[in-house]
Structure 1
């Protein structure tokens, strides 16, 4: 199920410009920004139309990696209608065409994992530095509700080239190429448990989990339960984010509503009822966690600072709050990764 909702596209440019320009030239992003006047219609001035036009120009020029990035923004912020789903399909097509030029080993495959008494299939990407030994650790990694495995390629590529581990990249339930499975606390965690089990069979048995934004919610779960050997939580909502009375910024109410499987923008009561189940207080009250690193920007408009600071004082847990930046420390991302990468390497070492 999916739906569109009222959102000013220029608000999304305000928030996401730093992220957009990580993978695309500033002048191209700004040109699309100037052209976009409405969010949903697939016509000149529409978000999906203008971003897709940029993607098509890159594709025609053989710049498949840039085309994949542009189509990634075309389908942003949610697979709410047919044009968005078409943009996702084009992104995947261009990404696969770009793969032979990646400076990393890359494999796209479809895995089958247990899900609600049956099975679920989901595409994943395996990425590693060239020549990485087969017996290296494996790190599960995902973005959140609106930035998915293919969108974050540049970041994963740098991590793979730096980290002595193989990355297993996936989309959360309710998002991206896993949008056919609704995002629920237990269902989403069950999918990840299946991926952890698979990851233990393809390396040396040691597995880490690096989650960004809502992905950080699930890496907090695997870290707090000790399901993985190391967990990194970057901008993850864990408790206060799901409290009654929490508002949303920059269209996030519709983004989250789509991921949760609603067919219309949920009202406050519906949303709060769905959110209550994600609260990790019961796990925070336990002492079963493995090694964890929790990082975020100090000025996050989406995730309250308490959801980072709540980890202070836990055993085997590091907490880093980066000043003068917001959600997932995106405008100071290099600083965040300079903390995360060596920590993960040390935590997964034999």
Structure 2
């Protein structure tokens, strides 16, 4: 069972990332009195009810976003299972109204994995941008960015981190094979030899592992990436929020009290980071309660082409969302040798506007 007060605190960052109105989700959270079950007052029920109301008003994408929050942080019973199903169904309805967004089934270790894609073309294959979320956010949370990726002249894919959402995979270091499998599956419909990964939070760790082994990956963008100390520093691990620990335990399939012993060998060492030959742009939060500061320092020390932005914020930098979103997309453009200068200029202007709006 989740700690309800902690759960409410952490879900706000994700609600902000989905541009949900604060006045609405604040009152919704006040109605929630139970983490479990699927009846009025329970976590899943109240988020699903808000999603149903949005769907009745014809706001399909907003409905999907509320359903995403209803399965947060992971499916642990019928209520959250119902929320995930509604989330996927709503995204399916929304994407059918968007030209060019399609499902693609990728085989990973013999298992079928569905991803959402846009901008694919056998006649004119484009450079590829693959986007993945962390341990608590399914692909449908990030899917609305696909039309924007296509507008940049790229093919785009959003995928679940192994074990998250619909993914049948088990989360672990071998989860990096997801990225290579996506590239193999899309070869011929995208220019996979020019692939960039926008891998948020824990998926950034897998993305680095993939990039060290797959030369088709030409650049990485991350946000709050666990590198080394998260996996090895027992003093820090004792401070990690319960929701993070329990979600990680659920994904790797061990009891929460054993999860850090289970992942201690996942740390990326200095030699591996020095072997990273491609640019790595990443966001770091100085008040991150999940990722220890030593991991950012290790990146500074070891990554040869590091492009780092730091925010005085918590994990994921939710209070700097507008700036972070534009900065991340601009980072991809700046890594591309053939990027459209008009897109780069537009994103540069948008970044300046976002910073001005935030008083930076």
Aligned match for 1:82, one of 42, 54, 78: 78
Residue 334, structure 1, aligned to residue 322, structure 2:
yes
Aligned twin of 1:193 = 180
Alignment of 1:171-182 (within 5 A): 171-178=160-167, 180-182=168-170
What TM-score, normalized to structure 1? 0.87
Deviation at 1:285, TM superposition (A): 5.5
Paired residues of 2:270 and 2:298 also in contact (CA < 8 A): no
Deviation at 1:299, TM superposition (A): 1.4
User: 1:310-339 CA deviation, whole Å, 9 max, x = no partner?
Assistant: 122546522324232121222112222333
Distance 1:55 1:258 in 2: 26
User: 1:94-125 CA deviation, whole Å, 9 max, x = no partner?
Assistant: 111112444x6311222223x1xxx1111100
Aligned twin of 1:19 = 14
Gaps of 5+ in 1: none
Distance 1:199 1:286 in 2: 29
C-alpha distance 24-8 of structure 1, shift in aligned 2 (>3 A): same
Q: What secondary structure, in the 3-state scheme, does the structure 2 residue paired with 1:147 have?
A: coil
Aligned match for 1:257, one of 249, 256, 259: 249
Distance 2:133 2:153 in 1: 21
Residue 123, structure 1, aligned to residue 114, structure 2:
yes
Distance 1:315 1:51 in 2: 41
Distance 2:208 2:45 in 1: 37
Paired residues of 1:294 and 1:308 also in contact (CA < 8 A): no
Aligned twin of 1:137 = 127
Give the number of the structure whose residues are more often helix, by fraction. Answer: 2
Alignment of 1:1-350 (within 5 A): 5=1, 7-21=2-16, 22-102=18-98, 105-113=100-108, 115=109, 119-128=110-119, 134-154=124-144, 156-157=145-146, 159-160=148-149, 163-178=152-167, 180-186=168-174, 188-204=175-191, 205-225=193-213, 227=215, 228-245=217-234, 246-247=237-238, 248-262=240-254, 265-267=255-257, 270-281=258-269, 284=272, 286-314=274-302, 316-350=304-338
Distance 2:125 2:273 in 1: 35
Distance 2:274 2:186 in 1: 26
User: 1:242-292 CA deviation, whole Å, 9 max, x = no partner?
Assistant: 014113215112111111123xx332xx21221113211165365243222
Aligned twin of 2:342 = none
Paired residues of 2:194 and 2:218 also in contact (CA < 8 A): yes
> How many residues are paired up?
332
Distance 1:24 1:123 in 2: 26
Distance 1:107 1:218 in 2: 25
Gaps of 5+ in 2: 339-360
Deviation at 1:296, TM superposition (A): 1.8
Q: What secondary structure, in the 3-state scheme, does the structure 1 residue paired with 2:161 have?
A: coil
Distance 1:253 1:299 in 2: 18
Distance 1:318 1:288 in 2: 10
Deviation at 1:225, TM superposition (A): 4.2
What TM-score, normalized to structure 2? 0.84
Deviation at 1:348, TM superposition (A): 2.6
Paired residues of 1:226 and 1:289 also in contact (CA < 8 A): no
C-alpha distance 174-76 of structure 1, shift in aligned 2 (>3 A): same
Deviation at 1:294, TM superposition (A): 2.4
